[in-house]
Amino acid sequence: MTIEEWTPTLGAGPLLGIAAAAIVLLLFLIMYLRMHAFPALVLVSVLTAFAAGIPANLVVSTATEGFGSTLATVALLVGLGAMLGRLVEMSGGAKVLADTLIGWFGEKRAPFALGVASLLFGFPIFFDAGLVVMLPVVFAVARRLGGSVLSYGLPVAGAFSVMHIYLPPHPGPVSAATFFEANVGLVMLLGLLVALPTWYVTSYLFGRWAGRRWQLPVPSLLGRADEEQNPPRFVTVVLVLLLPMILIFLNTGLDTLNRGGMLPEGTGEATWFQVLRVLGETPVALLITLLVATVVLGRARGTDKSVLEKTLEGALGPVCSVILVTGAGGMFGSVLRTSGIGDALEDSLSDLGVPLILAGFLIAAVLRIAQGSATVALTTAAGLVSAGVAAADYNAVQLAAMVLAVGAGSVVASHVNDSGFWLVGRFFGMDVKTTLKTWTVLETLIGVMGFVIAWAIFALAGAMG
């Protein structure tokens, strides 16, 4: 028997109980017994698989499949991103960027400047890749100005989160727009109306408050540059950091244009189209950027080849823990999904007796809390309410607002079954308790405020006919 042939037998109630018990056990192991997060996640994943009734001969393969699928993206992104970050840091490029941003915006507005830069980067770049690229700049600014790294890091992480959830061409809103037959361009326009004020309140202002509340030093994840005698120019560093954004936009932008029928028929099968899309795949884009940075920030400035090799080699050791813990977090979330909790919740939540826009938000939120993946929660919830949306005869603005409302639900309450929870916590040197008090709260605020704005747009569009 394979996992595809196995049919879950437990109902929503028992599965929710198992999921809740698993989360409580995991928090107990990590926060009270001080067990390292990696073995704790592996142990709880295996115990959860048995408790959910997954056949014994499929338990290990189910767990390792989730681990492997998470590492397939995370390991490449974090590994290549850490090398790029170390190169930008050790060349003096991060310090140049930090000094320039502080000179333009002033010391008090530095977190705001970092967040705005991340909003721009976040248009085409996925959450985890964008965060990795911006880390050396965040750390350099934090070292220069002092104070908690959260004051600078949370506005950046929150910026990538709101863009990933609310703005095409990211896969979640594009998928929901497809389910609801909403206009992608209108989703992007209204998504900006939701994302920008939501980021300012929930990420920038909350990040400043969290930075005063929790004084965390800058992690030594990327090392620290010596005083550079020949630092790269500001424009050079900016172009290097813009390169992955441009390459990734080749992928997401071309795909969006093709899906929207704005390219000639048959373009999607053309060789040039496929090649450009491959160049824009996030791991390939980061690899190309790393190779360019090695030349531009290294060899062109006279750095010896052996020094470059040691610099890149030294970047991998500190991020191994990040990669393994994030992969184990993906394992835990995958076990919960495989157990059938998503399907069981679909059946029990299909008739909530509430307005359809609220139902979409709540279904996405419950699925997100239960199984961790925002994309899975968003696409599942969108598929579940799509029939009701089609029958409701909404106008174009209301359809776009529905997409944003479901997206808002899919981001709330990032916690221990979400690989992004571990990524952010490890990058900023937070323990589990602090990550729950900061990142989990921030993500929930992003979802709740975004939903309120989306519902207001929906109601206004309905009133205007």
Mean pLDDT, residues 86-98 taken together: 76
- Burial code (b: 16+ CB inside 10 Å, e: under 16) for 24-60 equals eebbebbeeeeeebbebbbebbbbbbebbbbeeebbe
| pLDDT at residue 403, as a whole number | 92
**Distance (Å, whole) CA 49 – CA 29:** 18
Structure-model confidence comparison of residues 204 and 175, the more confident one: 204
Q: What is the pLDDT of residues 291-312, one digit of tens each?
A: 998 888 887 777 788 888 887 8
**Distance (Å, whole) CA 120 – CA 344:** 39
| pLDDT at residue 129, as a whole number | 72
| pLDDT at residue 4, as a whole number | 62
Q: How confident is the model at residue 445 (pLDDT cuts 50, 70, 90)?
A: very high
**Bond into 169 cis (ω within 30):** yes
**Distance (Å, whole) CA 279 – CA 71:** 20
| pLDDT at residue 125, as a whole number | 67
Q: What is the pLDDT of residues 46-82, one digit of tens each?
A: 998 888 888 888 888 888 888 888 787 777 877 887 7
| pLDDT at residue 193, as a whole number | 92
With beta carbons less than 8 A apart as the criterion, state whether 343 and 60 touch: no
Q: DSSP state, 107?
A: S
Q: Is the pLDDT of residue 198 over 90?
A: yes
Assessment of whether the complete model's pTM goes beyond 0.85: no
Residue among 406, 97, 118, 397 nearest 225 (CA): 97
| pLDDT at residue 169, as a whole number | 64
Q: Is the pLDDT of residue 180 over 90?
A: no
Q: Chain-wide mean pLDDT for the chain? A: 81
| pLDDT at residue 346, as a whole number | 55
**Distance (Å, whole) CA 163 – CA 129:** 13
Which alpha helices (DSSP H) does 263-304 contain, by range? 271-279, 282-293
Mean pLDDT, residues 117-132 taken together: 75
With beta carbons less than 8 A apart as the criterion, state whether 337 and 418 touch: no
Q: What is the pLDDT of residues 93-114, one digit of tens each?
A: 767 777 787 778 787 888 898 8
Q: How many CA atoms lie within 13 A of 317 on its CB side?
A: 7
Q: DSSP state, 235?
A: H
Q: What is the pLDDT of residues 316-343, one digit of tens each?
A: 776 777 678 767 877 877 787 777 765 6
Q: Give percent helix, percent strand, percent coil of the chain, each to the nearest 5.
A: 80, 0, 20
DSSP string for residues in 333-356? HHHHHHTTHHHHHHHHHS---S-H
- Measured in whole angstroms, the distance separating CA 203 from the mean position of its chain's CA atoms is 14
Q: Is the pLDDT of residue 350 over 80?
A: no
Q: Is the pLDDT of residue 249 over 80?
A: no
| pLDDT at residue 223, as a whole number | 57
